[in-house]
Amino acid sequence: MSAVIYPKVALIGLGLIAGSMAHAMRRAGLAETITGYARSAETRKIAREINLVDEVCDSALEAARDADLVVLCVPVGVMGAVAAEIAPGLKPGAVVTDVGSVKAAVIEAVAPHIPEGVHFIPGHPLAGTEHSGPRSGFAELFDNRWCLLVPVEGSDPGEVARLTRYWEGLGSNVDVMDAEHHDLVLAVTSHAPHLIAYTMVGVADDLRRVTDSEVIKYSAAGFRDFTRIAASDPTMWRDVFLSNKAATLEILGRFTEELFALQRAIRTEDGDHLHDYFTRTRAIRRGIIDAGQDTDAPDFGRAVASKAKARTE
């Protein structure tokens, strides 16, 4: 039995997510042909050199033409424009999905461009790294991570089921939810944490009384964890915050309230409050490890990673 789910898949955008999808599709044999397109000639050239997909096209329209599945893997802010561009090439019965980190704004931007007879089923894989670009993808990125599908009004249940099988073939678990809830959940589990990390790194960079060189040398005391997230792609994250404004600001408001309460506990030397708070937060970490969503190796297994690297050098 063939594993092919969509004979021809088009990836628009050829960065971390699209590249990882290409590797994972090939690993599982989910497609017969993969086409791709990225905005810059440089990225297209690299994609050809490393044979990232079967055919790198010189326009999004050409890549999407006659595809069974088109995946929009571009920053959230340009999803609408890209959808408009590919619309004329979409064949009846084709499925269009996306991997954008925000859903309500993407649906609003993309849905109007989807022709009659084409299925639009938005999605979002909850997996990534701080790296980007055509060389950053790898087949294991989605293994045991969750992908959220966010069907719109009129999404065909059979097509949602097929897209579910496709993401499972890429290694993911799949859940379905509505766009508003998705955007709130992601504000908590991703968008607010990223903004906070960017802010903390910015503060450290700005201080006069502590030099950047001190911050760098002494970063292993905790700070370096924040710098990984804060090294993520600026365009992607600008777009995320601008497109998930309300939910992000809501969570940041809650965050600031709690932070003030903890600052007050420090100021008034309320050690019991601090101790209780720090005890309660451990349960979530245990839950994440038990759910297989993080490694239980100390320090994310950094020591292992450095040794594995040393072995290959």
> 20 or 155, CB closer to ligand NAP?
20
223 binds, among ligand NAP, a copy of itself, none (CB under 5 to 8 A by kind): a copy of itself
Binding mask 187-226 for ligand NAP (x = CB under 6 A): ----------------------------------------
How far apart are alpha carbons 76 and 157 in whole angstroms?
A: 25
Contact 141, 22 (CB under 8 A): no
188 binds, among ligand NAP, a copy of itself, none (CB under 5 to 8 A by kind): a copy of itself
How far apart are alpha carbons 168 and 173 in whole angstroms?
A: 6
Bridge partners (DSSP) listed for residue 174: 147
Min. distance of Cβ 282 from a copy of itself in angstroms? 5
Contact 31, 5 (CB under 8 A): yes
Q: CB atoms < 10 A from the CB of 211, how many? A: 10
302 binds, among a copy of itself, ligand NAP, none (CB under 5 to 8 A by kind): a copy of itself
238 binds, among a copy of itself, ligand NAP, none (CB under 5 to 8 A by kind): a copy of itself
Residue 163's nearest CA partner among 110, 99, 97, 108 is: 97
> 37 or 237, CB closer to a copy of itself?
237
How far apart are alpha carbons 216 and 239 in whole angstroms?
A: 28
- Count of positions on this chain that bind ligand NAP (CB under 6 A): 28
Residues 60-79, interacting with ligand NAP (CB under 6 A): 60, 73-76, 78
How far apart are alpha carbons 295 and 107 in whole angstroms?
A: 34
> 61 or 231, CB closer to a copy of itself?
231
Min. distance of Cβ 257 from ligand NAP in angstroms? 28
